Amino acid sequence: MIYQRSSALFAEAQQYIPGGVNSPVRAFKAVGGDPIFVKEAKGAYLFDEDGNRLIDYIASWGPLILGHAYPPVVDAIVNSAKKGTSYGIPTALETKIAKLAVSMVPNIDKIRFVNSGTEACMSAVRLARGFTGKERIIKFAGCYHGHSDAFLIQAGSGAVTFGTPNSPGVTKGTAKDTLLARYNDLENVEALFRSNEGEIAAIIIEPVPGNMGCILPREGFLEGLRSLCDAHDALLIFDEVMTGFRLAKGGAQELLDIDADIVTFGKVIGGGLPVGAFAARNEIMSHLAPEGPVYQAGTLSGNPLAMNAGFTMLKALNDAPEVFDSLENKTAYLHEGIANVLEKNGVVHRINRLGSMVSVHFTNTPVVDFETAAKGNNDTFKRYFHGMLSEGVYLPPSAFESYFLNDAISYEDLDFTIDALRKVVKML
């Protein structure tokens, strides 16, 4: 495929936008080469500025469960825009979608809409601190909760040391209140609680991480976190920006049968528009302004475009829950097809999958956390990514990202993808 137009647009963009992109992963730094520029998308496909059609396996990083430009959502956005794009004043629609979301997700009574997953996670942590009266939080290496200062932390010198900033601009004072743990390592988390007795407000975790590939929680791990939080009067925050309304109607809480204290959501609830939310039971949400002392606000929060699109998307999922089985079956079919091709050609690999999330790792080590994910052969991944791209398949441009299938992808598209790998595997 030819990408001359995309390369020219990237060169121009770098003159006016830092790095030529508005989110770093788009720059192809992890895989090399110039990023493609998309002109439009429909259903399962991206159409770039050079006229290439690509099967899309990122779905705008998760929210487009029913495919690009899903007609009912597009109609909802258009009809809403005709009435105004933002009011900064309450609308009945906000209550309508809140009522629907609360009915779909277990263990929540109230929900507050914000403008992004980052904002949702930032607000959830503030609420947890305000509710518990404690300041420190535990997060996990490889779990991404947005770019708020408290989350941009790397490991210190030992398992129970304080974190240190991994981005300029994040202060050491902020970093000292974030403790870093290893995903799937319950003993490590127990040690952090022992070393910081009475000081930990919350654990925040992606119950099924998607930012070090798709990582599955070991049996008993999430249950263990729930027990630790109960024992130490800390809150358990599930970051379901990726998994919420994707793994099941009620997200990972429903699928894995674990109750979190606070849950955050992302762009699924806006039908792909910029939106986020956090939710909890009444006793926690009552601490939120204007009802309580924990402040959070946003002029565009609950804006009518996102709320109308989100209600339409959630209603479609609620009315047709069989979509989750459809997505899981398609993802399993893709998993089996990729595994067969790689195995027959002797390519060392591991594939992780849950629901409609899947990732391929070029390593012979089970991938259970960030450390094991980092052992993958990145040179092989680069060849894999670019080979598939040249065949018309768009995969996440990083070995540390999950694939997200959308239900517009057909079995013919899946067969096309598997056939493309048969051509590419000779390069790996």
Based on the structure, what is the number of domains in the chain? 2
Domain match, 92 and 214 both: yes
Domain match, 388 and 358 both: yes
* 150 or 158, higher pLDDT: 150
* 174 or 93, higher pLDDT: 93
Domain match, 34 and 75 both: no
Domain match, 39 and 119 both: no
> Catalytic: 267?
yes
Percent of the residues in the chain that have a pLDDT greater than 70, as a whole number: 97
Q: Is it the case that residue 425 has pLDDT exceeding 70?
A: yes
Domain match, 43 and 120 both: no
**317-337, pLDDT tens digit by residue?**
999 999 999 999 999 999 999
Q: Is it the case that residue 398 has pLDDT exceeding 60?
A: yes
Which of 3, 57, 144, 394 is an active site residue?
Answer: 144
Which of 239, 261, 369, 413 is an active site residue?
Answer: 239
Domain boundary among 289, 319, 349: 319
Query: Quick check: is 64 in a domain?
Result: no
Q: Is it the case that residue 81 has pLDDT exceeding 70?
A: yes
Domain boundary among 284, 319, 354: 319
Domain match, 124 and 135 both: yes
> Catalytic: 257?
no
Which of 134, 139, 267, 330 is an active site residue?
Answer: 267
pLDDT recorded at residue 174:
77
Domain boundary among 291, 319, 347: 319
Domain match, 131 and 142 both: yes
Pick the range with the lowest mean pLDDT from 32-41, 172-181, 324-333, 410-419: 172-181
Q: Is it the case that residue 95 has pLDDT exceeding 60?
A: yes
pLDDT tier for residue 1 given thresholds of 50, 70 and 90: confident
Q: For residue 291, give the CATH number of its domain.
A: 3.40.640.10
Domain match, 52 and 82 both: no
pLDDT recorded at residue 154:
61
pLDDT tier for residue 264 given thresholds of 50, 70 and 90: very high
Domain match, 77 and 102 both: yes
pLDDT recorded at residue 161:
36
Considering only CA atoms, which of 328, 347, 344 is closest in space to residue 248?
328
**215-252, pLDDT tens digit by residue?**
999 999 999 999 999 999 999 999 999 999 999 999 99
Q: Is it the case that residue 165 has pLDDT exceeding 80?
A: no
Per residue, the 3-state secondary structure of the chain, as one string, reads: CCCHHHHHHHHHHCCCCHHHCCCHHHHCCCCCCCCCCEEEEEECEEEECCCCEEEECCCCCCCCCCCECCHHHHHHHHHHHCCCCCCCCCCHHHHHHHHHHHHHCCCCCEEEEECCHHHHHHHHHHHHHHHHCCCEEEEECCCCCCCCHHHCEECCCCCCCECEECCCCCCHHHHCCEEEECCCCHHHHHHHHHHCCCCEEEEEECCCCCCCCCCCCCCCHHHHHHHHHHHCCCEEEEEECCCCCCCCCCHHHHHHCCCCCEEEECHHHHCCCCCEEEEECHHHHCCECCCCCECCCCCCCCCHHHHHHHHHHHHHHHHCCHHHHHHHHHHHHHHHHHHHHHHHCCCCCEEEEECCEEEEECCCCCCCCHHHHCCCCHHHHHHHHHHHHHCCEECCCCCCCCEECCCCCCHHHHHHHHHHHHHHHHHC
> Catalytic: 249?
no
Q: Is it the case that residue 158 has pLDDT exceeding 50?
A: no
Domain match, 108 and 223 both: yes
- Chain centroid, CA 105 distance in Å: 17
pLDDT recorded at residue 312:
97
Q: What is the average pLDDT across 312-321?
A: 97
- Chain mean pLDDT for the chain: 94
Q: What is the average pLDDT across 83-93?
A: 95
Which domain does 224 fall in, by range? Answer: 71-319
Pick the range with the lowest mean pLDDT from 31-45, 108-122, 153-167: 153-167
Query: Quick check: is 290 in a domain?
Result: yes
Domain match, 283 and 422 both: no
pLDDT recorded at residue 189:
97
